[in-house]
A and B are shown apart, each in its own frame.
Chain A
Amino acid sequence: MKARVHVTLKNGVLDPQGKAIEHALAALGFGGVNEVRQGKVIEFSLAESDPAKARAEVEAMCEKLLANTVIENYAIELNG
């Protein structure tokens, strides 16, 4: 089974990198771009084939390592 974890900043947490991207897009002439937020995507394959167990396992990974839940949210996608 393939897992994909999206880690994004929580609402209300300032994202200076997102702001810099927003300004760079504006400087390149892409108008009307607002609220840019930068995050990260982490992909991996899992030996576990049961979807419920796999989800629980990936959630534990997110809580322990993949996301810092003080400032970040995570979303899990499972395929296969």
Chain B
Amino acid sequence: MKAAVIVFPGSNCDRDVQVALRQSMGSEPLMVWHKDSDFEKVDLIVLPGGFSYGDYLRCGAMAANSPVMKEVVARARKGVAVLGICNGFQVLTETGLLPGVLMRNADLRFVCRDVRVKVETSQSLFTAKYEQGQAIRIPVAHHDGNYFVDDDTLSAMEDRGQVALRYCDAAGEITAEANPNGSLRNIAGVYNETKTVLGLMPHPERLADPRMGGSDGRALFDGLVEALR
């Protein structure tokens, strides 16, 4: 399996993702600079967290129009798996590959702590190594993670099972208290219609090694490697 990590000016989780992928793949992912629209064929493209282009105008808006993203969008439309983490999720919504938008957190504060998210289904490239309904511990670190989408799109997404992850408490209950940013229906991550693109606000790469204090994020990368081998 081959993977690429896209590096924008202002990305700051690219090397964490590189380490997590290396650990799960046993080989080096390709690091692709935002100006490189021509890179070798890969099975997985990861858009890492950070503050691409300084989050100017709107989070992810500038990155969504960068040369490399035209290529990423074209490959995603052909079915190549794409994972967007945090700022990467914001970029994916700005390109239109994923529905909705990430707005300023409801309490206006930057939230940086471990949260629990419930895995809605294990029937995806990204979640095959998790149990359906499993509550996993993953950190969030964002100012704009408040997921919003119009009612019609939301109900269509729910019908198609496009909600990937929801913020929950330690017991796996979806509660208002467990929602760190005001997201509609506690949404922490969403798929595209074919479940080949996933965007999520939590950072699985930050808890993918017991030495970092937890490894609940590792199964996401392990699952991808197994599915795309």
Query: Does A16 sit within 8 A of B, measured CB to CB?
Result: yes
**Interface extent on A, as a size class?**
10 to 19
Q: Distance in Å from the Cβ of B57 to the closest Cβ of chain A?
A: 7
Are A17's CB and B108's CB within 8 A? yes
Which among B57, B94, B106 has the highest number of chain A CB atoms within 10 Å?
Answer: B57
Contact check: which of B57, B93, B108, B148 meets A13 at CB < 8 Å? B148
- The residue of chain A having its C-beta at the shortest distance from the C-beta of B149 within the complex is A70
Q: Within 8 Å CB of A41, what residues of B?
A: none
Contact check: which of A17, A65, A71 meets B101 at CB < 8 Å? A71
Give the A-B contact count at a CB cut-off of 8 A. Answer: 35
Instruction: Report Cα–Cα, A5/B229, bound state, in Å.
Output: 48
Contact bitstring B86-99, A, C-beta under 8 A = 1, else 0: 00000001100000
Instruction: Report Cα–Cα, A20/B106, bound state, in Å.
Output: 10
Q: Which residues of A (47-80) have their CB < 8 Å from a CB of B?
A: 64-66, 68, 70-71
Q: Distance in Å from the Cβ of B119 to the closest Cβ of chain A?
A: 26
Are B104's CB and A65's CB within 8 A? no
Are B149's CB and A65's CB within 8 A? no
Instruction: Report Cα–Cα, A16/B146, bound state, in Å.
Output: 10
Query: Contacts A70-B149, A71-B148: A65 and B61 contacting too (C-beta < 8 A)?
Result: yes
Which among B65, B100, B103, B182 has the highest number of chain A CB atoms within 10 Å?
Answer: B103
Q: Which residues of A (3-62) have their CB < 8 Å from a CB of B?
A: 13-14, 16-17, 20
Are B100's CB and A70's CB within 8 A? yes
- Can you spell out 7 A-B residue pairs with CB atoms less than 8 angstroms apart? A14-B182, A16-B104, A16-B106, A16-B107, A70-B100, A70-B148, A71-B148
Additional 12 contacts, C-beta under 8 A, given A65-B61, A68-B61, A68-B94? A13-B103, A13-B148, A16-B104, A16-B105, A16-B106, A16-B108, A16-B182, A20-B108, A66-B57, A68-B101, A70-B93, A71-B103
